[in-house]
Amino acid sequence: MSQSDESDETTSLLGDGDPQDEDYKSRWRSIRIMYFTMFLSSVGKVDHSATTSYLGWVVAAFSLCQMVASPIFGLWSNYRPRREPLACSIFINLFGNIYYAYAYLPTSNNKLHVLLARAFTGFGAGNVAVLRSYVAGATSLKERTNAMANMSASQALGFILGPALQACLSFIGERGVTVKFIELELNMYTVPALLAAVCGLINMLLVLIVLREHHIDDDGKRVLTINYTSEDTVDVIDEESEEAVDNVAVLTSNVLFFIVMFIFAIYETITTPLTMDMFAWTKREAVLYNGVIICLIGCESILVFLVVKVASQRLFGDRPVLLTGLAIIFCGFFVLLPWGDSYPKIRWADIKNNTLVSQMYEASNSSVEPTGCPYEQTWCQYTPAIHLAQFITCAFLIGMGYPTSNVMSYTLFSKIVGPKPQGVYMGWLTASGSGARTLGPVFVSQVYTLLGPRWAFGIICGLMLGAISLLVGLYHRLIAYSIRLGRLIHRI
What domains can be seen in the chain, in order of their start residue? 1-237 (1.20.1250.20), 243-344+383-492 (1.20.1250.20)
Is residue 8 a contact partner of residue 229, using CB atoms and an 8 Å limit?
Answer: no
Inter-CA distances, 374 with 273, 277, 449, 450, Å: 10, 7, 10, 12
- Higher-scoring residue by pLDDT: 24, 461: 461
- Higher-scoring residue by pLDDT: 397, 50: 397
Looking at residue 220, its amino acid is G
Cα separation, 23 vs 213, whole angstroms: 10
pLDDT at 352: 45
Q: What is the pLDDT of residues 87-115, one digit of tens each?
A: 999 999 999 989 888 887 776 777 788 88
CA-based torsion, 26, 135, 161, 389: positive or negative: negative
Q: What is the pLDDT of residues 120-150, one digit of tens each?
A: 988 998 898 899 889 888 888 788 888 888 8
As to burial, measured by CB atoms within 10 angstroms (0-12 exposed, 13-18 middle, 19+ buried), residue 263 is buried
Least Cα distance to 57 among 441, 449, 443 occurs for 441
pLDDT at 19: 57
Inter-CA distances, 277 with 69, 282, 358, 382, Å: 37, 9, 21, 13
Q: What is the pLDDT of residues 394-437, one digit of tens each?
A: 999 999 999 899 888 888 888 888 777 788 888 888 888 888 88
Is residue 221 a contact partner of residue 198, using CB atoms and an 8 Å limit?
Answer: no
On the question of pLDDT at 241 being above 70, the answer is no
Inter-CA distances, 259 with 80, 125, 230, 253, 471, Å: 32, 20, 44, 10, 12
On the question of pLDDT at 246 being above 60, the answer is yes
Degrees, nearest 5: CA angle 235-237-243: 115
- Higher-scoring residue by pLDDT: 14, 252: 252
State the pTM of this model.
0.76
Q: What is the mean pLDDT of the chain?
A: 79
pLDDT at 465: 96
